């Protein structure tokens, strides 16, 4: 009785592993290029599943013990886990590489950008005084305030502030794409 139960449980679990990527009778997990012809009879579908499960039998003998079964499933789970970790690591390394490339690109033009910014802030283009800097920042903030004050009444309401923030977020997300 225990052997029959073990065989049934193993067949169910094996078919689950064999068909993990399948979504049902419309796909044949043995080959991604094969398509089932509809309508499909239950007996044909189950015969196909039986063939797949028999082909995926991972043991060298026809009957196994619980320990062998447990050991094999444990190996499969460990392989899946290792592959998952490997894929996550590869995705992380790729994202890190892209971030490094973006940083290098940004830094390659950094000196030129800061020189332009400095010259825009400075009144004599060679030195930057505290007064020049304060005046430039106040001027920039005045432009920002005017952009935010949509009805140009000299006051920014909470609604105008929220609308401006949404506009800036939208501009930022479109610039990042």
In this predicted model, which residue has the larger pLDDT, 39 or 104?
104
In this predicted model, which residue has the larger pLDDT, 136 or 12?
136
| Predicted confidence (pLDDT) at residue 101 exceeds the cutoff of 70 | yes
**Confidence at 152, pLDDT banded by 50, 70, 90:** confident
| Rounded average pLDDT over 89-97 | 95
In this predicted model, which residue has the larger pLDDT, 7 or 177?
177
Please provide the DSSP assignment of 60-101 as one string: SSS---HHHHHHHHHHHHHHHHHHHHHHHHHHHHHHHHHHHH
The pLDDT of residue 55: 86
In terms of Cα–Cα distance, which of 44, 51, 77, 56 is closest to 10? Answer: 56
| Predicted confidence (pLDDT) at residue 82 exceeds the cutoff of 90 | yes
27-36 pLDDT tens trace:
444 444 456 6
For the chain, give the mean pLDDT.
81
| Predicted confidence (pLDDT) at residue 121 exceeds the cutoff of 60 | yes
Percentage with pLDDT > 70 across the chain: 79
The pLDDT of residue 6: 54
């Amino acid at each position: 009785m225990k052997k029959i139960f073990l065989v049934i449980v193993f067949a169910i679990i094996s078919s689950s592993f064999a068909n993990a990527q399948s979504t049902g009778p419309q796909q044949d997990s043995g080959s991604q290029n094969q398509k089932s012809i509809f309508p499909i009879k239950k007996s044909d579908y189950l015969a196909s599943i039986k063939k797949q499960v028999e082909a995926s039998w991972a043991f060298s003998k026809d009957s196994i013990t619980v320990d062998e079964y447990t050991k094999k499933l444990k190996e499969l789970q460990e392989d899946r886990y290792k592959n998952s970790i490997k894929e996550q690591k590869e995705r992380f390394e790729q994202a890190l590489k892209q971030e490094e490339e973006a940083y290098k690109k940004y830094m390659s033009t950094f000196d030129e950008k800061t020189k332009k910014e400095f010259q825009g802030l400075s009144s004599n283009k060679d030195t930057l005084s505290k007064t020049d800097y304060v005046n430039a920042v106040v001027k920039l903030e005045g432009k920002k305030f005017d952009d935010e004050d949509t009805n140009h009444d000299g006051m920014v309401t909470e609604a105008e502030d929220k609308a401006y923030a949404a506009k800036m977020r939208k501009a930022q997300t479109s610039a990042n794409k």
